[in-house]
């Protein structure tokens, strides 16, 4: 058996405005940096995407994963174009835009039509896993829940009655998006009406909608958010988001893995480019997100059945349990969120360390030195 080659990675950070700041900033805590109070820390990418290349550290130098020959030596010939996925740690301080991702066919179409707003031609299925408790909007509410919603917010009723075939999900989504496309000015006054109704009635998501309303005045995303299901993910729980499912991350720190793409159709809750026409074409009313719960398990595979990636989580609370995984000579990328790990060669990895395991090893073995230990590994199936 050839010994595995482990490399520590240095990873690009995205300081998007919605990231956490100062004392609440998770990423600086994870990687051991003292942040200044004003800079938002939104995402850390373990990636070979052209927007953000990771680097590895060797005893001699730092090497950027930006050339095919370097990638071939570390990842193998099959992956000389790069990882087929992006692994991210994201830290949400302010709600992100409501968005969907196109499937492979639609992604290609959008990229050809509008390469500026759709810089990738690849699809972007993604899984988001809570590091601590996280709140997310993912997928539509059930038909009965939408009926209840109309019962409370009577102003929505006409949108459910306009003659268009299909279920409530489709009617409400389509007709609200059409309102925003055809008479954007009416959206603002309509939101005001809905807001009054929300204030008058007992409404589970009241505080959230009122605060979003202050931030995104007149944004149709507020109305679309009413149609979406609010999930609270506990530590380790994950949600897989297939193409065409509307979603928005609200709060929390998450590990996110997606196909290597930055292809996003934005609907609302954002000052960025929105594409409501494409939203109508991309949306999928039938598919449901998949929720995974590894509660109490030391080893857990999030079974997303994709060609691009597989995600495994270890949560180890006793030292007798170690990390063992067959790799069949393939490369893998890992991130250690808690604890300390030791390789058979005596290399030590600590909290916040991301590691690239180069191709060639049939199996990895890592021993926990400090527990509790939380480790995520992404492999290509
Ligand atoms: Zn997304």
Domains detected in the chain: 10-138+230-292 (2.60.120.10), 142-226 (no CATH), 301-379 (2.60.120.10)
Using the mean position of ligand 1's atoms as its centre, give its distance from the Cα of residue 247 in Å. 7
- Model confidence at 164, pLDDT cuts 50, 70, 90, reads low
Q: What is the mean pLDDT of residues 299-306?
A: 95
CA distance 265 to 34: 35
- Contact of 371 with 317, CB cutoff 8 Å: yes
Using the mean position of ligand 1's atoms as its centre, give its distance from the Cα of residue 127 in Å. 9
Q: What is the mean pLDDT of residues 177-188?
A: 92
Residue 163 pLDDT: 62
Residue partners of 204: CB distance under 8 A and separation at least 6: 230
Residue 271 pLDDT: 84
pLDDT tens digits, 200-252: 888 788 888 989 998 888 899 999 999 999 999 999 999 999 999 999 999 99
Q: What is the mean pLDDT of residues 32-42?
A: 95
Q: Is 77 a residue whose pLDDT tops 50?
A: yes
- Model confidence at 9, pLDDT cuts 50, 70, 90, reads very high
Using the mean position of ligand 1's atoms as its centre, give its distance from the Cα of residue 151 in Å. 30
Mean pLDDT across the chain: 93
Q: Is 150 a residue whose pLDDT tops 60?
A: yes
- Contact of 237 with 138, CB cutoff 8 Å: no
Q: What is the mean pLDDT of residues 100-107?
A: 93
Phi-psi region of 208 (alpha: psi -120 to 50; beta: other; left: phi over 0): alpha
Q: Is 1 a residue whose pLDDT tops 50?
A: no
CA distance 303 to 210: 36
pLDDT tens digits, 134-148: 999 999 999 999 999
How many Cα neighbours within 13 Å face the side chain of 27?
A: 27
Using the mean position of ligand 1's atoms as its centre, give its distance from the Cα of residue 101 in Å. 6
Of residues 71, 169, 251, 266, which has the active-site annotation?
A: 266
Q: Is 348 a residue whose pLDDT tops 90?
A: yes
Helix 206-215 to helix 184-200 angle (10° resolution) is: 150
Q: What percent of the chain has pLDDT over 70?
A: 98
Using the mean position of ligand 1's atoms as its centre, give its distance from the Cα of residue 242 in Å. 10
Using the mean position of ligand 1's atoms as its centre, give its distance from the Cα of residue 98 in Å. 8
Choose the weakest-confidence range: 18-32, 196-210, 234-248, 347-361.
196-210
- Model confidence at 272, pLDDT cuts 50, 70, 90, reads confident
Q: Is 309 a residue whose pLDDT tops 50?
A: yes
Using the mean position of ligand 1's atoms as its centre, give its distance from the Cα of residue 378 in Å. 18
Q: What is the mean pLDDT of residues 363-368?
A: 94
Decide if 266 is catalytic. yes
Using the mean position of ligand 1's atoms as its centre, give its distance from the Cα of residue 366 in Å. 32
Residue 326 pLDDT: 94
Residue 238 pLDDT: 98
Q: What percent of the chain has pLDDT over 90?
A: 81
Q: Is 123 a residue whose pLDDT tops 90?
A: no
């Amino acid at each position: 058996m050839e010994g595995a080659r482990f490399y520590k990675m240095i990873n690009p950070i995205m300081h998007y405005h919605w990231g956490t700041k100062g004392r609440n900033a998770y990423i600086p805590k994870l990687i051991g940096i003292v942040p200044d109070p004003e800079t938002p820390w939104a995402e850390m990418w373990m990636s070979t995407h052209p927007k953000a290349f990771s680097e590895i550290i060797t005893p001699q130098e730092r090497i950027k994963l930006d050339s095919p020959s370097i990638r071939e030596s570390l990842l193998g010939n099959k992956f000389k174009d790069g990882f087929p996925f992006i692994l991210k740690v994201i830290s949400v301080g302010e709600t992100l835009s409501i968005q969907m991702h196109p499937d492979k066919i639609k992604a290609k179409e959008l990229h050809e039509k509008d390469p500026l707003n759709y810089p990738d031609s690849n699809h972007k299925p993604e899984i988001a896993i809570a590091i601590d408790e996280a709140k997310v909007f993912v997928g539509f509410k059930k038909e009965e829940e939408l009926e209840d919603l109309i019962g409370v917010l009577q102003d929505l009723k006409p949108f459910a009655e306009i003659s268009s075939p299909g279920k409530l999900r489709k009617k409400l989504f389509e007709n609200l998006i059409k309102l925003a496309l055809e008479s954007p000015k009416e959206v603002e006054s309509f939101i005001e009406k809905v807001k009054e109704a929300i204030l008058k009635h007992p409404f589970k998501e009241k505080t959230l909608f009122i605060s979003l309303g202050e931030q995104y005045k007149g944004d149709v995303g507020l109305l679309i958010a009413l149609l979406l299901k609010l999930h609270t993910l506990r530590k380790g729980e994950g949600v897989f988001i297939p193409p065409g499912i509307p979603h928005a991350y609200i709060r929390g720190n998450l590990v996110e893995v997606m196909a290597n793409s930055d292809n996003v159709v934005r609907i609302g809750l954002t000052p960025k480019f929105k594409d409501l026409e494409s939203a109508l074409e991309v949306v999928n009313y039938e598919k449901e997100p998949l929720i995974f719960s590894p509660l109490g398990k030391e080893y857990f595979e999030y079974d997303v059945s994709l060609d691009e990636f597989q995600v495994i989580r270890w949560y180890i609370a006793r030292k007798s349990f170690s990390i063992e995984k067959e790799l069949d000579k393939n490369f893998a990328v890992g991130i250690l969120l808690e604890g300390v790990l030791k390789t058979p060669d005596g290399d030590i990895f600590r909290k916040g360390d991301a590691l690239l395991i180069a191709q060639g090893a049939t199996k990895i073995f890592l021993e926990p030195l400090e527990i509790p230990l939380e480790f995520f590994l992404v492999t290509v199936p």
